[in-house]
Amino acid sequence: MKKIVLTIVFILLAVSALAFGSAFCDGWENGYKSGYCYGKGYGCVQPIAPVCPVPRPGEDNYQGGYNRGFIAGMNAQR
């Protein structure tokens, strides 16, 4: 019984992460590319963004993903 309940909870968490994480991941990808090319001008080749991380509490929207991705992209540029 315990295994069934844990399986259902895990499935619900995975589905909710996909549903709510899509805006975050879109923001992460765009922010990463913008952060990587920040200050390089028009000649910058945008990299492929790494897989988006799990959003922190309060970060589960596009803007939260963008901000976090921008910082990660700037750090990767160095």
Number of separate domains in the chain: 1
pTM above 0.85, yes or no: no
Domain, as residue range, for 26: 2-77
Tokens 């922010």 belong to: 31
pLDDT in tens, 9-67: 666 555 555 555 589 999 999 999 999 999 888 889 999 999 999 998 988 899 999 99
pLDDT the model gives residue 16: 55
Q: Decide if 24 contacts 65 (C-beta within 8 A).
A: yes
